Amino acid sequence: MELKLDIRINQLIGLIRQLPSEQKLRIKKELEKEIKKKSIPEHEDLKELLLAGPVMTEEEEENFNNFDNAFNKWTKSLFA
């Protein structure tokens, strides 16, 4: 069974204001969970992705730096 109500935001706020404090706190906690669930995962997923990504070894870093230096010298001499 499904029940749909057409309640405007002001009516909803009015109904919430009539509730006892404990129930208002419960609603607040549920809304905070819902907001957190929808807003944080994007950042958390990105954070997890970056932390789980590959890391250069010292040898790879040295090769990268050598290539970077050679590339910089080549572009400076080519466009100077």
Whether the per-residue pLDDT at 69 is higher than 80: the answer is: yes
Contact 27, 16 (CB under 8 A): yes
The 10 Å CB-count burial string (b at 16+, else e) for 23-52 is eeeeeeeeeeeeeeeeeeeeeeeeeeeeee
How much is the pTM? Answer: 0.43
Greatest pairwise CA separation for the chain in angstroms:
77
According to the model, what pLDDT value does residue 67 have?
96
> Tens digits of per-residue pLDDT, 7-43?
899 999 999 999 999 999 999 999 988 887 766 556 6
Share of the chain above pLDDT 70, in %: 91
